[in-house]
Amino acid sequence: MSGGTGRWWDRLSRLWPQNLATLGRTFFRLAPGPTLGCTATTLVLGVLPVFVMITSGRLVDAVAAADVTAALTALAWFGGLSVISPVLAAIHNVAQAELSRRFVVEVERSLVAAALAPTTIGHLEDPRLKGRIDGVAEAHREGVQLVAVTAVFTVLRWRVSGVAAAILLLQYSWWIAPVLVTGYLIFTGMFRRWLATIYADLDEAVADQRRRPEYLRRLLMEPAGAKELRIFAAVPWLDARFGESWQAVMSGLWRRRGRAAGPLLLGILALLIAYAIVFGWLGWTAIAGVLGAGAVVVIIQAANGLESLSSYGDVGAQLSRSGSALRQLDALEHDLDRQTENEPAEGEPAEEPDHDHSVRRSAVTVAFDAVSFRYPGRAEPTLRDFALDVPEGQALAIVGENGAGKSTCIKLLAGLYAPDSGRVTIGGRSPLAGRRRAAVIFQDFGRYELSLRQNVAFRDDRDDDRAIEAALAAAGAEELLTRLTLDTVLAAGYPDGTELSGGQWQRVALARALYALDRGAEVLILDEPTAALDIRAETELFERLLEVSRGRTSILVSHRLNSVRHADRIVVIDGGRITEDGDHASLLAADGAYARMFRLQARRFVTAEAEGDHDA
Ligand SMILES: Nc1ncnc2c1ncn2[C@@H]1O[C@H](COP(=O)(O)OP(=O)(O)OP(=O)(O)O)[C@@H](O)[C@H]1O
C-alpha cells in the first residue's frame, strides 16, 4: 500500500474508536450470543434511517405526480419501518443487558483477582501499583465499563448509519459523499486531538498528581477524620489545602485544554465549507430542474445523515475511559503476576482452615534466620541480619522503643511481607505457605461491620458457636455475650446493630485470635492489640492469654513491661536488632535498657496509682 493511500486509510480508520475492536473481541469472548445479537440489531438499526430517506423521497415524488398507489406504498413502508425500529431496539436492550452483566462481572473479578494475587501486602503500599488499583477501582465504581458497553454499540450504530448514508449519496452523485466525508475527517481529527488533551488526565502521571487532592477531599468528607478535624479546628486549613492542590492539578489541565481549542475552530471551518459546496450545488440543480423534488429530499437527508461520521464526543470519552481503565487493569495484572512470581514459593499449598474441634496441633518453633528487610520506597533496611529462635511452646515478649522494628518482625511472621534475604519460618516452613498457622492480631486490627460471630470466626454456620463463645470468654468479653447475640451486627445503622467501645473491640479481636488457635493455628501473635485497655486490664488479659495458650508458641508485643513480665522470655529490640534477651528477672539483674525502662514505668505507675489514674 502506497504512503498516500496508507494515510487516507489511517484517517478513515480514525472514524472508529481505537478501543472498539478490542472491546468487541472481549465482549465476544465473554458472551458470544448476546454480542452477536447486539451487533446484528445494531447493524439493522443503523441502516434503517437510509430506508426512511428513500421512502420519503418516493412519497414526495408520488405526491408531486398525484400517484395514489405509489403514495400508499410509500406510507405502508413508513408504517413497517416504524414498527421494526422499536422491536429491534427492545431485542437489542435485552441482549445488551446480559452482555453488560457478564462484562462488568469479569472486570470486577479480574480486579479483585489481580489485587489479591500476591500473598504479601507490599503492592498495596507501592504508590505506583496502589495508584493503578485505585484508578481501575474508581472507574469501575463509577460504572465506566457499564457505560462502555452502551457506548460501543452507539458508536457502531452511528457509523453504520453514516456509511449507509454515504452509499446512498453515491447513487445520486459521485462527489457529494467524498466532499462531506473529507470535511468530517478534518473536523473529527481536530476534535479527537482536543479530546485526547482532555483525557490525558487519565494518564497515570496526572492520576498521581490527583492523589493528594483526592485524599484531602476524602478526609474532609468522610467520617474517619471528622472528629479530629473538628476538635482541632482543622477544617478551614484542610479545605484551603484541598483547594490549592486541586487548583494546582487542574490549572495545567485547563491551560492545555484552552490551547487545544484553536485547531478545533479550523475543523469547524472545514466542515462549513464542505456543506456550503454541497448545498450550493443542490440549490442550483434544484432551481435548474436537473433534480426532481424526491431526489433533493433524499440528498438533503443523506447529507445530514453523514453527521453520524462525526466525532463521537461524550460517547468517545466514555470509550477512552473504559479503554484506559482496561489497559491499566492489564498492566496491573502483569505487574502483580510478576510480583507473585517473585514471592518465595515453598512448594506447599495454602492450608484450608481446620474446622475439626479435635485438632490441636503441637507447638512449633518460630525462627528468623539472618533476615534483612527494607520497606518499599525506603532507602534503609528496617531489619538487617536479624536472627531470633523461639523454641516450641515458648511465650516470648518483644519490647522496644517506637520504630524499633517490632511490628515489622510480626508482619514478616504473618507473611504480609517477604524478607529481602534470609528466612522466616514457622515450624520450619515459610509463613506464606499455610498462612493460617499464625493467629496474628495487630494494633490496627479489623473492626468489621459484620455480626459478632463473623467478626470472630469469619464464617456463618452455627456449628462453632460454642467455640466462638469460649474464645470471647477467654478474651474477657463475657459481658458482651450477656448483652448481645452472635448475630448482632457490630455497627450502628443496621437493624439491631450496635457500636462497641475501643476496649470491647479489642476483646473481640483477641477472641478472633483465640478462636483461630482453637481451630488449629500454632502460634499466637499479639502486636499491641490491647493498647486501649488500662494497664491493669492489659496485665490481667495477658496473663489470661498466657494461660489459655500455655504449651503453644506465643509472641506478645507491648510497650508496657509490667504486662509481659510473666512471659518465658523477653527480647529487647533497638534499631532492628536484638539488644537484650532473657527472662524478666535476668534482664532486671543485667541492669540494661530493659531494667531502666521497667523501673521508669513502675515509678510512673506507682505515682499514677497514688493519684488514682489506672492508665499510666
Ligand atoms: N509500611 C511502611 N513503609 C515504610 N516504612 C515503614 C512501614 N512500616 C514501618 N516502617 C518503618 O519501619 C521502622 C520500624 O517500624 P515498626 O512499625 O516495625 O516499629 P515498632 O517497633 O513496631 O514501633 P511502634 O512501637 O511505634 O509500633 C520505622 O522506622 C517505621 O517508620
Please give the average pLDDT of every successive group of 10 residues along the chain, which has 616 residues: 45 57 81 93 95 94 92 94 93 93 86 76 73 78 79 89 94 92 87 73 60 84 76 82 86 77 86 94 89 91 88 70 76 74 50 45 80 86 92 90 89 86 87 72 84 87 87 88 90 82 87 87 83 72 75 86 85 91 92 89 65 50
Return the exposure string of 283-321: e unless at least 16 CB atoms fall within 10 Å of the residue's CB, then b: eebbeeeebeebbbbbbbbbbebbebbbbbeebbbbbbb
> Is 415 inside any structural domain?
yes
> Is 285 inside any structural domain?
no
Quick one: how far is CA 260 from the chain centroid?
32
Q: Based on the fold, state whether residues 330 and 380 are members of the same structural domain.
A: no
Place of cell 445479537: 37
> Is 320 inside any structural domain?
yes
Q: Based on the fold, state whether residues 471 and 336 are members of the same structural domain.
A: no
The greatest distance separating any two alpha carbons of the chain, rounded to the nearest whole angstrom, comes to 120
Protein residue closest via CA to atom 3 of ligand 1: 375
Q: Which amino acid is at 398?
A: I
Beta bridge partners of 439: 524
> Is 244 inside any structural domain?
no
Protein residue closest via CA to atom 28 of ligand 1: 403
In this structure, are residues 360 and 551 in contact, taking their beta carbons and an 8 Å threshold?
Answer: no
Cα torsion angle, 465, 467, 469, 471, sign? negative
Determine the distance separating the centroid of ligand 1 and the alpha carbon of 129, expressed in angstroms: 21
Q: Based on the fold, state whether residues 420 and 562 are members of the same structural domain.
A: yes
Cα torsion angle, 403, 404, 405, 410, sign? negative
Ligand 1 nearest atom to the CA of residue 443, by list position:
27
Q: Based on the fold, state whether residues 439 and 398 are members of the same structural domain.
A: yes
Distance in angstroms (rounded) separating the CA atoms of residues 33 and 254: 44
- Cβ atoms within 10 Å of 362's Cβ, excluding its own: 11
Q: Based on the fold, state whether residues 398 and 518 are members of the same structural domain.
A: yes
Q: Based on the fold, state whether residues 529 and 454 are members of the same structural domain.
A: yes
Segment 262-266 long-range contacts (CB within 8 Å, at least 24 positions apart): 263/190, 263/193, 263/194, 264/190, 264/191, 264/193, 264/194, 266/186, 266/190
Q: Which amino acid is at 479?
A: E
Distance in angstroms (rounded) separating the CA atoms of residues 123 and 336: 8
Is the distance from the beta carbon of residue 551 to the nearest atom of ligand 1 less than 6 Å? no
Q: Based on the fold, state whether residues 478 and 576 are members of the same structural domain.
A: yes
Protein residue closest via CA to atom 6 of ligand 1: 375
- Counting the structural domains of the chain, the total is 2
Is the ipTM value over 0.95, yes or no? yes
For residue 527, the domain's CATH number is 3.40.50.300
Place of cell 478474651: 475
Describe the chain by its helix, strand, coil percentages, rounded to 5: 65, 10, 25
Ligand 1 pocket mutation, candidates 378, 410, 555, 564, criterion most atoms within 8 A of CB: 378
Q: What is the pLDDT of residue 69?
A: 93
Determine the distance separating the centroid of ligand 1 and the alpha carbon of 408, expressed in angstroms: 6
Determine the distance separating the centroid of ligand 1 and the alpha carbon of 42, expressed in angstroms: 58
Is the distance from the beta carbon of residue 529 to the nearest atom of ligand 1 less than 6 Å? no
> Is 6 inside any structural domain?
no
Query: pTM of the predicted model, to two decimals?
Result: 0.63
Q: What is the pLDDT of residue 350?
A: 41
Which range of residues forms the domain containing residue 390?
A: 366-611
Reported as type and span, the H/E element at residue 387 is strand 383-390
Give how far Cα 273 sits from Cα of 188, 263, 269, 308, 311, Å. Answer: 15, 16, 6, 18, 17
Quick one: DSSP state of residue 568?
A: S
Q: Based on the fold, state whether residues 503 and 404 are members of the same structural domain.
A: yes
Of 281, 307, 341, the residue at which a domain comes to its end is 341
Ligand 1 pocket mutation, candidates 375, 410, 527, 559, criterion most atoms within 8 A of CB: 375
Place of cell 479545605: 239
Ligand 1 nearest atom to the CA of residue 408, by list position:
18
Grid coordinates of 57: 423521497
Q: Based on the fold, state whether residues 436 and 322 are members of the same structural domain.
A: no
> Is 410 inside any structural domain?
yes
Q: What is the pLDDT of residue 347?
A: 41
Is the distance from the beta carbon of residue 80 to the nearest atom of ligand 1 less than 6 Å? no
Q: What is the pLDDT of residue 353?
A: 45
Q: What is the pLDDT of residue 428?
A: 85
Q: What is the pLDDT of residue 216?
A: 86
Q: Based on the fold, state whether residues 331 and 372 are members of the same structural domain.
A: no
Is the distance from the beta carbon of residue 408 to the nearest atom of ligand 1 less than 6 Å? yes
Radius of gyration of the chain (CA): 35
> Is 310 inside any structural domain?
no
Q: Based on the fold, state whether residues 543 and 498 are members of the same structural domain.
A: yes
> Is 584 inside any structural domain?
yes
Q: Based on the fold, state whether residues 466 and 534 are members of the same structural domain.
A: yes
Distance in angstroms (rounded) separating the CA atoms of residues 201 and 429: 46
Q: What is the pLDDT of residue 340?
A: 67
Ligand 1 pocket mutation, candidates 374, 398, 406, criterion most atoms within 8 A of CB: 406
